Amino acid sequence: MASNTSPQRIEIINTVKDCRIIEIPKIMDPRGNIAVIEKDVIPFETKRVYYLYDVPSDACRGGHAHINLYQFLIALSGSFDVLLNDGYNKKNITLNKPNKGLLIKPGIWRELENFSSGSVCLVLASEVFEEKDYIRDFDSFKLFKTR
């Protein structure tokens, strides 16, 4: 029996273990450091960039999964927690360094919370906005992961 390697199947089988911290190369300088994302630092071409800021400390962002989209999250300033869930396992990662980012693969539920005052979350995404790529209901997400 041939293995199913269609893109949709690949996203379904991603787990929280497939999400990881990637160190961003930096150039140290007494006048201030520079972090550089180019070439193959992240495993996808960036097609969309956005950032979250002025998020109240008691607010929760995210609360969804993507079918095909990869994301790379960086705490440019301050800190926040990223709660990952693959439908079976959970993982909590605190982002608080501008030279380290979190790669989130497709098929992973994510919630962002515990934003510190003045925090900024930069997001690099593999695709432009496409509403049909979102799974915004957790019960629907669990069904997606079991098909």
Residue 8, Cα to own-chain centre: how many angstroms?
A: 18
The CA-based diameter of the chain, rounded to the nearest angstrom, is 59
Rounded distance between C-alpha atoms, residue 31 and residue 63, angstroms:
39
Tell me if residue 66 is catalytic: no
Q: How many CB atoms lie within 10 A of CB 135?
A: 19
Instruction: Tell me the β-bridge partners of 72.
Output: 103, 124
Q: Cα–Cα distances in Å, from 97 out to 40, 103, 111, 117?
A: 20, 14, 19, 15
Indicate which residue of 64, 91, 100, 142 is catalytic. Answer: 64
Tokens of 76: 């440019």
Catalytic residues: 64
